[in-house]
Structure 1
Amino acid sequence: MWDPQVRALSADHDVLAVDIRGHGESPVATVDYTISSLADDVLELLDRLDIGSAHVVGLSLGGAIAQYLAAHAPTRVRTLTLLCTSAKFGEPGGWLDRAVFVRSNGTGALAEAVVGRWFSPEFAGSVDSWVAMVTNTPDEGYARCCEALAHWDGRADLVRITAPTLVIAGAQDPATTPADLGAIADAIPNSTLHVLNPGAHLVNVEQSDAVSRLIADHIAAQGLDGDL
């Protein structure tokens, strides 16, 4: 999902795209998932690669992980970019119900509905590959990440974030609305909000050039280079 930004930013930065546990090429760990443990996975990876600090970018669940890193491991986060995310993703019941549904029916049973919230009506691209990506995500990995989001509430931590922060919302995002991103930007000192229109939950794909440019400009404005 980050291929557009990897291509655009790798000319000037070392770019690391992370598969969180239970997704992509990362194995499904049969332990409880929390945002804290998912953030610890990222820190362990940075340690293994001898990366002291990085420009951290996260969207949706990745945005929750990025918020946690910036609040609890501030020396590791040079700049922060949050896209289409929230400091609290609704009430726990909906996520716990989704975890039960996926374990019973598989990710393929909700793939089209999930992807239907990812792009605005103006999106001209094919969604088939995105439906396949969700369908091919391991059921247990998806369910455990739902449980991690069910118990996530990072609102009180936002004021602790000291990294220069770029916040990006999609104007048509039904999952994490511009109001959700506005609340994050209001709470984090030294933050800037951009609302991209058109754009839904995967605004980095739908508005790939604009998002890549905003991230590059955000890093450059701090007079910083290095890993992303």
Structure 2
Amino acid sequence: MKIALLPAADIHWREDGDPDGTPVVFANSLGTDFRLWDKVIDLLPETGFRLIRFDKRGHGLSSCPSGPFSMDDLAMDAENLLDHLQIGSCIFVGLSIGGMIGQLLAHRQPDRIKGLVLSNTGSKMGEAAMWQDRISQIRAGGIESLADAILDRWFSADFRQTAECLAWRHMLVRTPVEGYIGCCQAIAGTDLTDSTSGLGLPVLGIGGSEDLASPPAMVRATADLVTGSRYVEISGAGHLPCVEKPDVFAGHLMTFLKEDLHV
């Protein structure tokens, strides 16, 4: 296991693939750790790409600084990790809050982010009042009290009947409460519409047809903010298509890397 001792948080990270390849950095969703990407990583080439994953603050094995968090805090953690790993430029793949981190990072450091995959995310995700309601429910009853409702938004009905879905439930409810709430606060306070509209880099939007957390129309509208972007929709998948349809997700990612970024 690898821990980067960064200025504001200790970030757990992992590297796979080719250490001399093009860096591709993956950022996961609220309530998950970097194992979110396991199936996709296994499907990517062993050469040509340096594949970096990390647990954002308050998740997985990363530390949980006292909150509330802002999206600037989360983007700064990502910047500091890239500095720590001496990555001057990379392709960034973000899902849900990970996609928001990617959008802000690309705005703050346009020379560093060469391409951006926005999976199941938005420039603005929900209203502040909705997130405050969720925070209040979690403070009263823990993440367990909302777990089944969250899984309904995460996964298609068919996937929710599988044994694997139970493992994702366990991951969700074991997320540190203050880490989960801190990231809810970051999302609640974020609207990236203006800054994302000003991006000038290749962007691929990926939606899931069964996603109730970030509906396909939201993902498409976010991708459409960037001139020249593309959008694809994965049929039969919910909020985490890299889990439900990893082969389809990996195929879209490789097409983007080869045809849009020429790597």
Same fold, judged at TM 0.5 (above): yes
Quote the residue 2:126 is aligned against: 90
1:9 and 2:18 correspond: no
Query: Which residue number in structure 1 is paired with residue 152 of structure 2?
Result: 116
Task: Name the CA distance, whole Å, in 2 between partners of 1:15 and 1:125.
Answer: 29
- How far residue 100 of structure 1 moved from its aligned partner, in angstroms, is 2.3
Give TM-score scaled by structure 2 length: 0.82
Q: How many residues end up aligned between the 2 structures?
A: 225
Q: Counterparts of 1:185 and 1:66 in 2: how far apart (Å)? A: 12
1:93-119: CA deviation from partner (whole Å, max 9, x where unpaired) = 111121222223222222222112111
Q: Compute the displacement of 1:91 (Å).
A: 1.0
Q: Does 1:129 align with 2:178?
A: no
Q: Which runs of 4+ in 1 moved over 6 A?
A: none
Are 1:68 and 2:104 counterparts?
Answer: yes
1:35 maps to 2:71: yes
Mapped pair 1:208 → 2:246 = yes
- How far the C-alpha of 1:122 sits from its partner, in A, is 3.2
- What amino acid is the match of 1:69? L
**Cα RMSD for the two superposed structures:** 1.4
Indicate conservation of the 8 Å contact 2:202/2:261, yes or no. Answer: no
Correspondence 1:57-206 to 2 at 5 A? 57-123=93-159, 125-126=162-163, 127-206=165-244
Distance 1:62 1:10 in 2: 23
- For residue 58 of structure 1, report the CA deviation from its aligned partner: 0.5
Name the CA distance, whole Å, in 2 between partners of 1:100 and 1:19: 24
- Cα pair 2:118 2:223 within 8 Å, conserved: no
The structure where strand makes up a greater share of residues is 2
Q: Which moved more, 1:141-150 or 1:104-113?
A: 104-113
- After TM superposition, the structure 1 stretch with the greater mean CA deviation from structure 2, 23-32 or 55-64, is 23-32
CA 1:10/1:138 → structure 2, altered by over 3 Å: closer, same or farther? farther
* % same residue: 35
Give distance in 2, aligned partners of 1:66 and 1:223.
17
The unaligned stretches of length 5 or more in structure 2 are 1-35
CA distances 1:28-81 after superposition (whole Å, capped 9, x unpaired): 110331111101100100000101111100011111111111122111111100
Contact 1:64–1:85, Cα closer than 8 Å, also in 2: yes
- SS of 2:76's partner is helix
Match of 2:53, SS? coil
2:109 and 2:74 map into 1 onto residues whose CA distance is: 13
Secondary structure, aligned partner of 1:213: helix
Report the alpha carbon displacement of residue 224 of structure 1 after superposing the two structures with TM.
4.2
Q: Tell me, yes or no, if the aligned pair for 2:115 and 2:261 is still in contact at 8 Å.
A: no
Does the Cα contact within 8 Å between 2:93 and 2:102 map onto a contact in 1? Answer: yes
Q: Say if 1:99 and 1:144, in contact at 8 Å, map to a contact too.
A: no
Question: What is the match of residue 44 of structure 1?
Answer: 80
Distance 1:156 1:72 in 2: 13
Q: CA–CA distance in 2 between the matches of 1:125 and 1:6?
A: 22
- 1:1-49 Cα offsets, whole Å, 9 max, x none, are 1111222225131111110000001111103311111011001000001
Ranges in structure 1 where 5+ consecutive residues have no aligned partner:
none
